[in-house]
Amino acid sequence: MNSLPLLTLLTLTPLVGAAVIAGLDPKHRSLARGLGLFFNLLAFSLAATLWANFNVASGELQFVERHDWIPSVGVQYFLGVDGMGLLMVLLTALIVPFGLLASGRSRREEAQTSGTKIDQSLLTSAPTEQLNAPAFVSLLLFLQAGLFGAFTALNFIHWFVFYELTLVPAYFLIKLWGGSQRSSAANQFFIYTMVGSVTLLLSMLAVYLVTGSFDLIALAEKGRTGELASLFNVRIAGWYGLSPRTLALVIFFGAFLGFAVKVPVWPFHTWLPATYAEAPTGVSMVLTGVMSKMGVYGFLRILLPIFPNEMQIMLTPLLWLAVATIVFSAWAAMMQRDLKRIVAYSSINHLGYCLLGVFAVASFTGSDPKWTTEKTAALNGVLLQMFNHGITAAALFYFVGLIEQRAGRRGLGDFGGLRKVAPVFCGLMGIAMFASLGLPGLNGFIGEFLIFKGVFPLAKWAAAFSVIGLLVTAIFLLTILQRVWSGPLAEQGKAFPDLTMKERLIVLPAIALMFVLGVWPQLILGAINNTVLQMVEGLKL
Amino acid sequence: MPWLIQNLWLIPALPLLAAGLSALMKRPSRAASASLAIGSMALAFFLSCAAFVKTLADPAAHFTHNFDWFVLGETTFRLGWVLDPLTAAMLVMITFVGLLIFIFSVGYMAHDDNFTRFFCFLSLFAAAMLGLVIANNLLLLFMCWELVGLASYLLIGFWYQKPSAAAAAKKAFITTRIGDVFFFLGILWLSSEAGTLLFYDGGAGCLEQSALAKLVVQSTWIGMGVSTAIALLIFCGAIGKSGQVPLHVWLPDAMEGPTPVSALIHAATMVAAGVFLVARVYPLMAVMPEANAQGPMPKVQVAMATQIEGGAGTETNRVVKVATNVPPLPEGEGRGEGEGTHGKHLASVSTALQAVTWIGAITALFAALIAVAQTDIKRILAYSTVSQLGFMFIGLGTGGVAVGIFHLLTHAFFKALLFLGSGSVIHGCHEEQDIRRMGGLRKLMPVTFATYAIGMLALAGFPLLFSGFWSKDEILHAAWLWQPSKWPFLLGLCGAFLTAFYMTRQMWFVFFGTNRSAGVPARSNSEPMDASDLQDTHGTSHASAGGDARTPHESPPVMTVPLGILAACAVFLSVFGTPAWPWFHSYLSGHAPHIAPSIEVGTLLVMLVSAIISVGGIWLGWNFYSRRGPKTAEEPDPLEKLQPDVFATLRGKFFIDELYQMSVIAWNAACARASRWLDDVVWDGAVRAVSLVALGLSWVNRLIDEFVVNLGFDQGCGGLRLGARLLSLWQNGQVQRYLRFIALGLVLLGVIFIWGCK
């Protein structure tokens, strides 16, 4: 509808910003941050324009741009968003500035200006680059560009380029600005996800060999009609002496592994707690808020449409993995003593619900319209949960970051009774926590309800086991409230400052969204419903 | 008055608005916060009364207003609210009792730092409960249900600086959430089977004939009917919220909250939610397949008979009439009619209702036993609530909605009265809660004493004058007529007897005998607020009153007036539910309020037994304690002297908490530890092993590179160089050496030649 290539502009904006800011002298800290915010604002207004011009009555791709890139191998510059892509673009445009604002001042600067006592061990290990704000902002914008690109690209190679590009800034952000274990965490993060990417790439190359196409939309169509399955039978029969069916499963598993590491799916999750815990606050927020959604997005955009047969064959083990992700990560969170690691594990737990929904809709059902409704509910729930979790988890990381900034510590047992000296802090963090544990009236509930509503009739036992996760989540989140905020005020907590006006303003949009989406989920569901309906139609075999 | 039905949401919205506004207020705006809360509650009360009047005209109708919440595929998800006698009666009770508790709190919390926040939470609590009551959608009900849980969490943990309060709040939230998780599964199941969660929707709702007919014919893999399974799952939610065995453990701990909160939890809101839930989904609870039906569309028997009498209304305002559940009690024997068809007695009560009855009966006796040995004034009341909730469930299971809800309403009034009375006592005794350190307070606190006595008599079920007698009598009567078993009736009787006994014990300890507080050091650890502030404010207020700071005193009128009003209600409410004029039953059962009194021999007999039990309990308690009651705070309870082991078990609450600590909590912790172990050792270990293998391979690679490829190359080169050097020795350009070699060669040749010729 719009002759302006909005999606290209959207990806270019932070990229240009990153280039401009990278050229700044390290001394110009506030200029870098100001410019970073400016480019974020620009990107946000572009995303808002997309939102405003998006035709919610259609589940089709919109704002499509398509140009040949490397015609000989079928690589195209192919952009477009449907409801799902739009939602993710919007989330990126919201969370990255939130993360940027959250990484206002480093611990060292804080200590220098306010004279707050902080743990010396954290300081001595802090690198000198910490003060290089332009590089930080530039990398964050670079990361944003990668995310925008990945959520809008629809040709596999085009998409893969951006998908991998996000790793580079994330790696350096963790490696240079992270906590004391940052180096090993960054390496593990990079290599682990890289391994997943390699298997994904190999699988998709196999698919290309079979079909001659990298076009995700065309591949989805082939997957839906079963053409892909028959092509598998013809083209790759006899490779390594394996049956086509087994080969297809191997190819599926390669692609699965790529996303499984990214989400992550239990047991491919061990890189996550260390990475989130070591990353600087603002980066943790973007990692959990947006980057973890790339995995679920990949499941929905690539795996589910292209490999519906294989997902059905593997349905039971996949559901077990989802249940394990939900339940074991919740239990593991219960045993953590570092606030950041607790939130990291709860992040795995929440994405587990998304996985549960994604896997359950792959189950084979007849053409009874009842199942369409249930599957639509589950997928609507998954998308809603992705968005909601992005906001809630980012807010929680922000709060934990603030605690750490104030006290220099973030152990569960390091505090007590802080509610007395910081009531507003406690109240707002409490809201975020209750949103996270799925309290009705706040955003987390509807997504979880819809997922469970859809999954229950499709896989009763999986839903029944997964509710253990709901219970354990309540236990560890309330334990945080109990140990950090309640009880007698510890002596060293007396100087703990409440939220400043600036901090309140930074977190206000997130808190407001928690309430708004909690009572008015139609705001999101209205935009994605038709996309989801179309996805569900695509699942009918 | 369709306006009222369309705007029924205002009733919960008003307190919610008050909560929202006072959440934004600063600490010093005490008056604004309190008046906002009380004002909104008063308005809600008037609206509730209007709604109540509306239902009087047509008690059989379920007035509903449904609206779209969000799109879902090709359908929409709808929420709505409903106005029927059940809702109306609950609305009036909650707003009225809530209002009195709010007013009382102004006095009770006057010295608290977080006064503003307190009224914010109270309003939220009331709003959530009111929303729960008007919900016409099980999901909306569940949402409000969870918000009730949140509000109770905030209020139980209101004195957050006390570690015990913070722990109790968490325990309450998590214990009830265990029940809620099952409730949630029940909702999911109902949603998938019935296709809707609306209760009443012009014939299409999940509590209406067609949906129930669909549910009842399906069975699960263990042969249990789907409707039964769903009903039991939903009942699990009620068990958690209403503190029934085995999820009762949070309720006594919830006494850590300020006393008005206890009153609100125990009377008007939290625990009533569970009973209300069962009453609300009663058609689902009671539905059962007719034993003989084999056809494709079997007939359904909903308790007695549920018929849709009249059809839909306008688009937005569907008015449906469903003759609800159970006829009034005097017709209770009519149950026999249904049995004629299939003869078996047991089959006439659905499995779900049997479960409700049994859980209720066990809880009624179990909690009453524990209450006998408690010494904390509020904990005794807490266990009595647990026990009375058991009675309500017996009533629901055996007699139907009206019987259970009538006891809920009468209990709400006298339990609020008792809790506020105990609050007045605690306030007057300077935050002392141990009844062993009280005594003789009737002279010092006359108003509190008089009202407390009325509440106590009502709870004990003293015959004829008090509402508690009539509502409990009905429950016992219904239990007596219950066909599956007579045990619930007997358990209930024992519970009623014990109730009379332990309430008399408490009365004696608190108000009679001599004051035992003298010479006992103040229990500073039970100080609820910041110990220093509270002591100060109390000290000054008493100094100005000219009395000794340790002498108990009567509370101010802002606290005693609500007590008086509640006491009056505890007496007068009985007129609505006597067997002679069972107005309330016909109202809740959807009959026009014209009543033909029918008093039968059985009714009178049960009434007589119930009266004897109650009076007997009081008599025994009075005799026992006025003769042998302790004279000092340290002296053990006379019961303890009599039966030390039994008493210790009762005082230890049958050690259920300890049992859970060793079982459920330990298992959960073990699972958590196992998960951490899996992560840290197995999966992380696997990752490390893979990386070690990779590192090992690269190391081998390096070795090969350095020692085989590189070294081999280097050595090859070295060998070449050496050879070259050796070769180069031959040609160093010195003619003498060349000649020397030629000479040597000639000699050698000469030698070989000579040897060859020999």
| Of residues B521 and A271, more confidently modeled | A271
* Whole-angstrom distance, CA of residue B303 vs CA of residue A163: 61
The pLDDT-based confidence of A92 (bands split at 50, 70, 90) is: very high
Q: Is B61 helix (H, G, I), strand (E, B) or coil?
A: strand
- Give me B447's structure tokens: 């108003």
Contacts of A453 in chain B (CB under 8 A): 188, 191-192
Task: Report the candidate in B11, B3, B590 with the shortest Cα–Cα distance to residue B317.
Answer: B3
Q: Is B302 helix (H, G, I), strand (E, B) or coil?
A: strand
Instruction: State percent of chain B over pLDDT 70.
Output: 86
Characterise A429 by phi-psi region: left (phi > 0), alpha (psi -120 to 50), beta (else): alpha
CB contact under 8 A, A467 and B73: no
Contacts of A449 in chain B (CB under 8 A): 139
Q: Is A115 helix (H, G, I), strand (E, B) or coil?
A: coil
pLDDT, residue B734, reads: 83
The mean per-residue pLDDT over the stretch B748-755 comes to 91
* Whole-angstrom distance, CA of residue B283 vs CA of residue B292: 20
The mean per-residue pLDDT over the stretch B451-462 comes to 88
Q: Which amino acid is at A154?
A: L
pLDDT tens track for A433-476: 999 999 998 998 999 999 999 999 998 899 999 999 999 999 99
Peptide bond into A264 cis (omega under 30): yes
| Of residues A118 and A179, more confidently modeled | A179
pLDDT, residue A132, reads: 67
The pLDDT-based confidence of B132 (bands split at 50, 70, 90) is: very high
Contacts of B153 in chain A (CB under 8 A): 478
* Whole-angstrom distance, CA of residue B387 vs CA of residue A505: 49
| Of residues A533 and B574, more confidently modeled | A533
pLDDT at residue B317 greater than cutoff 50: no
pLDDT, residue A309, reads: 83
Q: Where are the beta strands (DSSP E) in B593-637?
A: none
3-state secondary structure A285-342: HHHHHHHHHHHHHHHHHHHHHHCHHHHHHCHHHHHHHHHHHHHHHHHHHHHCCEHHHH
Q: CB distance from B755 to chain A under 8 Å?
A: no
Contacts of B72 in chain A (CB under 8 A): 373, 376-377, 380, 450, 525, 529
CB contact under 8 A, B675 and A481: no
pLDDT, residue B322, reads: 37
pLDDT-wise least confident of A26-35, A198-207, B118-127, B304-313? B304-313
Task: Report the candidate in B365, B367, B131, B105 with the shortest Cα–Cα distance to residue B251.
Answer: B367
| Of residues A30 and A283, more confidently modeled | A283
What value does the mean pLDDT of chain B take? Answer: 81
Q: CB distance from B188 to chain A under 8 Å?
A: yes
The minimum CA-CA distance between A482 and chain B, rounded to whole Å, is: 6
A169: exposed, middle or buried (Cβ count in 10 Å: 0-12, 13-18, 19+): buried
Q: Provide the 8-state DSSP code for A338.
A: B
CA gyration radius for chain A? 23
Unique residue bearing structure tokens 């009468």 = B410
Unique residue bearing structure tokens 């804080």 = A110
- Restricting to B residues 401-440, those with a Cβ less than 8 Å away from any Cβ of A are none
Task: Report the candidate in A306, A457, A463 with the shortest Cα–Cα distance to residue A372.
Answer: A457
Least CA distance to B20: which residue of chain A?
Answer: A515
Q: Is A215 helix (H, G, I), strand (E, B) or coil?
A: strand
Of A132-136, B35-39, B506-510, highest mean pLDDT: B35-39
The mean per-residue pLDDT over the stretch A508-536 comes to 91
The mean per-residue pLDDT over the stretch A137-146 comes to 92
Q: Which amino acid is at A137?
A: V
3-state secondary structure B314-327: CCCCCEEEECCCCC
pLDDT, residue B591, reads: 62
pLDDT at residue A511 greater than cutoff 90: yes
pLDDT-wise least confident of A333-347, B407-421, B562-576, B661-675? B562-576
pLDDT tens track for A357-409: 999 998 877 777 788 888 899 999 999 999 999 999 999 999 998 888 888 88
* Whole-angstrom distance, CA of residue B274 vs CA of residue B372: 25
CB contact under 8 A, B687 and A464: no
Of the residues B22, B68, B121, B160, the best mutation for testing chain A's interface (the one with the most A CB atoms within 10 Å of its CB) is B160
Contacts of A270 in chain B (CB under 8 A): 679, 683-684, 687
- Give me A55's structure tokens: 């035709």
| Of residues B547 and B757, more confidently modeled | B757
Of the residues B671, B682, B692, the best mutation for testing chain A's interface (the one with the most A CB atoms within 10 Å of its CB) is B671
The pLDDT-based confidence of A177 (bands split at 50, 70, 90) is: confident
Of B171-175, B222-226, B342-346, highest mean pLDDT: B171-175
Task: Report the candidate in B131, B127, B122, B52 with the shortest Cα–Cα distance to residue B92.
Answer: B52
Backbone angles phi, psi at B69, to 5 degrees: -105, -50
Of the residues B24, B170, B690, the best mutation for testing chain A's interface (the one with the most A CB atoms within 10 Å of its CB) is B170
pLDDT-wise least confident of B319-333, B435-449, B668-682? B319-333
* Whole-angstrom distance, CA of residue B378 vs CA of residue B418: 9
Backbone angles phi, psi at A78, to 5 degrees: -130, 110
The DSSP line for B437-474 is G---HHHHSHHHHHHHHHHHHHHHT-TTTSHHHHHHHH
pLDDT, residue B348, reads: 73
Helices (H) and strands (E) in chain A, counts: 26, 2
Strand partners, B289: B300
pLDDT at residue B469 greater than cutoff 90: no
Contacts of B668 in chain A (CB under 8 A): 331, 334, 472, 475
- Give me A432's structure tokens: 């975020």
For chain B, how many residues are written? Answer: 758
Count of beta carbons in the 10 Å neighbourhood of residue A23: 9
The mean per-residue pLDDT over the stretch B402-414 comes to 89
pLDDT at residue A126 greater than cutoff 90: no
Neighbouring C-alpha atoms within 13 Å toward the C-beta of B567: 19
pLDDT, residue B593, reads: 52
CB contact under 8 A, B146 and A331: no
The mean per-residue pLDDT over the stretch B550-558 comes to 77
Contacts of B673 in chain A (CB under 8 A): 335
CB contact under 8 A, B73 and A271: no
CB contact under 8 A, A331 and B139: no
The minimum CA-CA distance between A525 and chain B, rounded to whole Å, is: 7
Candidates B153, B167, B675; nearest CB to A332: B675
- Give me A276's structure tokens: 């989130």
CB contact under 8 A, B161 and A420: yes
pLDDT, residue A32, reads: 85
Residues ≥6 apart with Cβ < 8 Å to B74: A369, A372, A373, A376, A533
Count of beta carbons in the 10 Å neighbourhood of residue B207: 27
CB contact under 8 A, A267 and B170: no
| Of residues B534 and B185, more confidently modeled | B185
| Of residues B634 and B142, more confidently modeled | B142
Of the residues A434, A476, A481, the best mutation for testing chain B's interface (the one with the most B CB atoms within 10 Å of its CB) is A481
The minimum CA-CA distance between B140 and chain A, rounded to whole Å, is: 9
Residues ≥6 apart with Cβ < 8 Å to A223: A305, A306, A307, A308, A309
What value does the mean pLDDT of chain A take? Answer: 86
Instruction: State percent of chain B over pLDDT 90.
Output: 26
CB contact under 8 A, B71 and A328: no
pLDDT, residue B24, reads: 87
Q: CB distance from B181 to chain A under 8 Å?
A: yes
CB contact under 8 A, B71 and A526: yes
pLDDT-wise least confident of A245-254, B11-20, B34-43, B597-606? B597-606
pLDDT at residue B353 greater than cutoff 50: yes
The pLDDT-based confidence of B346 (bands split at 50, 70, 90) is: very low
Q: Which amino acid is at B404?
A: G
pLDDT, residue B204, reads: 84
Q: CB distance from B185 to chain A under 8 Å?
A: yes
pLDDT, residue B128, reads: 93
pLDDT, residue B631, reads: 76
pLDDT tens track for A58-71: 888 888 888 888 88
Least CA distance to A474: which residue of chain B?
Answer: B174
* Whole-angstrom distance, CA of residue A540 vs CA of residue B133: 41
Task: Report the candidate in A523, A350, A354, A378 with the shortest Cα–Cα distance to residue A435.
Answer: A350
Task: Report the candidate in B538, B527, B512, B395 with the shortest Cα–Cα distance to residue B452.
Answer: B512
This complex has an ipTM of: 0.91
- Restricting to B residues 54-93, those with a Cβ less than 8 Å away from any Cβ of A are 69-75
pLDDT, residue A109, reads: 53
Backbone angles phi, psi at A314, to 5 degrees: -90, 15
pLDDT tens track for B527-549: 344 433 333 334 333 333 334 44
Least CA distance to B179: which residue of chain A?
Answer: A471
Least CA distance to A522: which residue of chain B?
Answer: B70
Do A473 and A389 form a contact (C-beta atoms < 8 A)? no
Do B207 and B200 form a contact (C-beta atoms < 8 A)? yes
pLDDT, residue B580, reads: 64
Peptide bond into A267 cis (omega under 30): yes
pLDDT at residue A6 greater than cutoff 70: yes
